[in-house]
Amino acid sequence: MKAIEINSKTDKNGHLRIDYQLDKSERNVRILILLEDDLSELDEEKLWMDSISKNPAFDYLNDPAENIYSLEDGEPYND
Amino acid residing at 53: S
Domain boundaries in the chain?
1-9+37-65
Is 80 exceeded by the pLDDT of residue 55? yes
Give the C-alpha distances (Å, rounded to integers) separating 31 from 5, 20, 34, 38, 66.
Answer: 10, 11, 10, 21, 35
Task: Give me the helices (H) in 1-79, please.
Answer: 41-53
> CB-based contacts of 60: which residues, under 8 Å, 6+ apart?
66
Tens-digit pLDDT profile for residues 5-44 = 666 677 888 887 777 666 778 877 777 767 666 656 667 7
Question: Amino acid identity, residue 46?
Answer: K
User: pTM, whole model, 2 decimals?
Assistant: 0.32
Q: Cα separation of 79 and 4, whole Å? A: 37
